[in-house]
Structure 1
Amino acid sequence: MSYATALSGLYGASSDLDVISNNIANANTVGYKQSRAEFADMYASALTTSVNNQIGIGTRLSNVQQIFTQGTITATDQDLDIAINGNGFFELSQNGSTVYSRNGQFRPDKTGAIVNADGLPLMGYAADSSGVINKGSVVPLQIPTTDLAPTATKKIAASFNLNAQDPVPKATPFSASDSTSYNYPTTAPIYDSLGGSHDVSLYFVKNSVGSWDVYGSTGSPATPVGPDPAGKLGTVTFDSSGNLTSPSPATFAFNIPNGADGGATTQPLTLDLTNTTQYGQANGITALNPDGSAAGQLQRYTVGSDGVITGTYSNGQSLALGQILLANFPNPDGLTDLGGNVYGQTASSGTAQTSTPGSTNHGVLQGGALEESTVDLTSELVNLITAQRDYQANSQSIKTQQTVDQTLINL
């Protein structure tokens, strides 16, 4: 009996060494959770055995538990390194099945799919070409491999200060080629539907106290814009405090030749002069914000705490590319370890509760960072010494029993 008891102790100590060694081996594995071996004693059961006289028959390995504590988060210089701070697991697709991981080392493959080191796609909500996230279905997330399409300018939002002390120009009528016929010129960049860049020139001509005419032209030589032969867009007036009083709203609609088709059609534009003032100081721009953009190439992407992946393009535009989801479980300890830093759902873990990062009972994400292994090497080395002594002690039990048996044989 004592041989079997000691052998079970040897097996237990060996299993403990296996678990500790696995922890040490994974001390630098991103997202790894420290494991521990859990043991239970064993007793022989018999109806005639008195409880007070029971002698144990050894030990058995009852469970290897992974302890899901938060690992240290370390910043990296990789856009698609993602750390989970709090509860939850990344959802990955493996041969049509969903698996889960805390390892946030991702990269785009040759098709733009976001995958881990083993090529498993990261799951979440996709975004359309306008950056609108579709929360109706969970799909593999994708980084666009094509340029961002250009958008034509429709509105020029601008505000200026027009110098109240400027005199009325002596040269009349207005002419874009005669600088003495206007008080202040400026240009606004705009884009056609193909992303071509063009300039719209604006001219401000003082009529009288508190009244200014606005003219526009485009191209070289200057071609007047709009239906007016001289390119007059309208008149703005100000009160004695320098505030814009008319028109209200302070917008002017006009057309320019469409550069996308060589001027065969026109491109409609609106000039919005809201917040323009007339103070006794130099003429100048206080804001100039035309909409529209040229085509853009994706330069980098960032991951927000809510899991939204935002792409930054060479044309200065930013667009949502998708949103990462997190899955939490009623009992994460019940997950089965599938290797490769992924886990599988079991009846013991309960059903995955999938939601966006930051929602109830789900952690947040940190882009450009990774969650380190939770293995404490110092503690594991101490545990290694303890397990070694356990093994030696059980070996001594066998040696002692052998000595007793030899004594009996010699009798």
Structure 2
Amino acid sequence: MSFYISLNGLKNSQTDLGVIANNIANAETNGFKKSRTDFGDVVAATALTNPKMVQGIGATVESITQNFELGPIEQTGGSLDLAITGDGFFTTVSQDTGKTYYTRNGAFKMDQNGFVQDGSGNVLQSFPVDANGNPTSTTPQDTQIPATNAAGAEFASVAVGVDGTITASYADGSTMAIGNVTLASFLSPEGLKKVGSANWEVSGISGTAKYGSPGTGQYGTLLSGNLERSNVDIAEELVGLITAQRNFQANAKAIDTATQISQTIINLRT
């Protein structure tokens, strides 16, 4: 039995090492959220087993839990670089598949058609607004900035307020409210499904998205000209790496010891 207990220990340590390695690899990924490996002991016994004689049969990986604490905020100066000060997520929709994604990476830019999107072609969602910038609907839509205004003046610049209002400026000095950035929150964000590029999808564990505007509830306000960096602490991960390596070595040593005991028994002479 000791062979299998230690073998499971090796696999668990390998999983832990993989999670830590992934954290370290994404230390420079904007909006990335680190994970940790949670273990649980395994016990098997029957109703007739003396509770004072119950022996554990190893450990198992119970979950790989995501940590959504706020990462460091870095100033960039880009008007469409956005950071969230609260618990909200940006909402984007893929132009190719129509799928909805949620992200903390606010590095957005305009494409040739005026759509505000991330580096993967997912369009930022916002609430439609009136001329004063007040939301007129709670249904998110694609954020698109017109190349010219009603007078035919060409687009000059764009600004995003702390309340999420997107305002475009034009060459004739006029401004136009484009939309109000849509933020999403979840009952259990740890249950969101990773899909890569610092994006998540909803799952049965996370629950459905609840939409709102920046500056309301726990969504947080927006900081234009800033980006949220990865929340990975390299020093913390290196300490965890050493611990996981020691655990792996200890389990390997346990297998080696069990092998030597078995070999001693086999070599016994009667």
TM superposition score normalised by structure 1: 0.62
Letter in 2 for 1:380: E
Structure 1 gaps of 5+ residues are: 151-294
Query: 3-state DSSP class of the match of 1:23?
Result: helix
Partner residue of 2:92? 92
Q: Quick one: percent identity of the two aligned structures?
A: 40
Assess, with a 3 A threshold, how the Cα gap between structure 1 residues 358 and 136 changes in structure 2: closer, same or farther.
Answer: closer
RMSD: 1.7
Match of 1:356 in 2: 213
Name segments (4+ residues, structure 1) moved above 4 Å. Answer: 127-133
Aligned counterparts of 1:330 and 1:319: Cα–Cα separation in 2: 35
Higher helix share: 2
Aligned to 2:26: 26
Q: Give the C-alpha shift of residue 48 in structure 1.
A: 2.5
The 8 Å contact of residues 133 and 165 in structure 2, kept in 1 or not, is answered as no
- The alignment's TM-score, normalised by the length of structure 2, stands at 0.93
Q: Where does residue 373 of structure 1 map in the other structure?
A: 230
Q: 1:136 & 1:407 partners in 2: Cα distance?
A: 74
Partner of 1:70: 70
Match of 1:149 in 2: 150
Aligned mates of 1:18, 1:374 — CA distance in 2: 18
Corresponding position of 1:125: 127
Paired residues, number: 266
* Native 8 Å contact 1:133 1:320 kept in 2: no
Give 1 or 2: higher strand fraction: 1
Q: Distance in 2 between matches of 1:131 and 1:51?
A: 67
Distance apart, 1:336 and its partner CA: 1.5
**Does structure 1 residue 346 correspond to structure 2 residue 188?**
no
- The equivalent position to 1:392 in structure 2, one of 240, 249, 256, is 249
- Structure 1 counterpart of 2:165: 308
Q: Does residue 410 in structure 1 map to residue 267 in structure 2?
A: yes
Q: Give, in whole Å, the separation in 2 of the partners of 1:401 and 1:63.
A: 29
- Paired with 2:258 and 2:134, the residues of 1 have a C-alpha distance of 74
Per-residue deviation at 1:127?
4.7
Larger radius of gyration: 1
Give the structure 2 partner of residue 219 of structure 1: none
Structure 2 distance, partners of 1:306, 1:30, is 22
1:207-257 per-residue CA deviation (whole Å, 9 max, x = no partner) reads: xxxxxxxxxxxxxxxxxxxxxxxxxxxxxxxxxxxxxxxxxxxxxxxxxxx
**One-letter amino acid matched to 2:93:** S
Farther-moved stretch of structure 1 (327-336 vs 120-129): 120-129
The unaligned stretches of length 5 or more in structure 2 are none
Structure 2 letter corresponding to 1:60: T
CA offsets 1:110-154 (integer angstroms, 9 cap, x no match)? 211111111111111235789675425321111212x2233xxxx
Mapping of 1:177-192 within 5 angstroms? none
How has the CA–CA distance of structure 1 residues 104 and 131 changed in structure 2, closer, same or farther, with 3 Å as cutoff?
same
